[in-house]
Amino acid sequence: MDKLIERLLKYVKIETTSDENSDTTPSTEVQLDLAKILLEELKEMGLDARIDENGYVYGKLKGKDPSKKKIGFISHMDTAPDMTAKGVSPNIIENYDGKDIVLNDKFTTRVLEFPFLKDLEGETIITTDGTTLLGADDKAGIAIIMTAIDELIHDENATYGDIRVGFTPDEEIGRGADKFNVEEFDADFAYTVDGGKIGELEYENFNAARADIYIQGKNVHPGSSKDTMVNSMGIAFELDGMLPVNERPQFTEGYEGFFHMISIDGSVEETKMSYIIRDHDKEKFESKKELIQKIGEFLNLKYGDRVKVEVRDEYYNMKEKITPHMEIVELAKESMEKAGVKPLIEATRGGTDGSKLSYMGLPCPNLFTGGYNYHGRYELVSVDQMKKAVETVKNIANIGTK
């Protein structure tokens, strides 16, 4: 079996779901199962590698050209808690015909819903069996980095400088870079390999915040509740209705930001609801945070101090930190073109470890993996596009900068 495919299949079968309700790092012990395997593989390839006390895996490869700057490649080990990653059973489809993909007797990935499938005709793709997510986000990135490093080591004509490799826990719950040791990593710049379709090259991402809202109601017997009962769920619905309807994820694209309710748990007596707030534009981002807080203030005037709104920033648009280092974006573009890939420079509608790392002093754009429909049963990845990502990583290392 192709080593790239072999690695991906091995990694996705290791359950590594992160848990936002945990206060440990990593948030789940299962992530260490993959970390230990990656550590051994890096050592077997000859890298100086270790796992730190927080589950981060670091690897160092001595270069052949000491005049070149040190380049890092980073992916995350965890999978999103949106859907189970236990018992992943991947399906390999060679020479895909571009038509609907039957996952099982209940679920089908339909071209009508996912038109990009037509563009994958003739490629080898890997899908789920419809009962779990796949985990290509970001185990495809890990497989790409490991394969590229392996091939570079065995290429007698390679001209790379010092290379750094990093695998992080808990990216899917927004903590992937929180305890990343930039000083120990010791790279001049890096790339996360955590993007989607072929050619994606991203150095802009959302500014991100989370709003947790706590609503206190008053529960009395409904038969004698006139002018007394306060239904906390009703206030929650009212709050949600006061947010702009056209600024929800399902109605936005490109540079349009949104409010997204990610959870609600309530009763008459009390309700908790959580939103994520996103916008590429810093001014609009601040306005969105201000709006949800003002809605809370208005409802408190109306119902008497029953609403508590807590807003906290999660990460920021890395464009501000990448723009002074556009040579690393140009290096990625050149490397893609050399691999026969057309660069697609666009703002990602999400975040990567690279956004926080860029603010920690490690400029870090994001590269494609060939994955689609992340975080659910319809997730899939193109092996052909993964191979192009391997070529791109190798080209970045060999071309380098001085």
Number of Cβ atoms within 10 Å of the Cβ of 357: 28
What are the residues whose beta carbons fall under 8 Å from the beta carbon of 371, sequence distance 6 or more? 136, 137, 140, 195, 196, 197, 379, 380, 381, 382
Number of Cβ atoms within 10 Å of the Cβ of 308: 13
Would you call 53 a catalytic residue per the annotation?
Answer: no
Choose the catalytic residue: 41, 78, 172, 204.
Answer: 78
Would you call 171 a catalytic residue per the annotation?
Answer: yes
Residues in the chain: 402
Report the alpha-carbon distance of residue 130 to residue 321 in Å, rounded.
Answer: 40
The two three-digit tokens of residue 264, written as one number: 């609600």
Choose the catalytic residue: 15, 171, 279, 353.
Answer: 171
Q: Tell me which residue of 29, 91, 51 sits closest to 179, measured CA to CA.
A: 51
Report the alpha-carbon distance of residue 127 to residue 378 in Å, rounded.
Answer: 7
What are the residues whose beta carbons fall under 8 Å from the beta carbon of 70, sequence distance 6 or more? 63, 161, 162, 163, 164, 186, 187, 188
- Annotated active-site positions, please? 78, 171
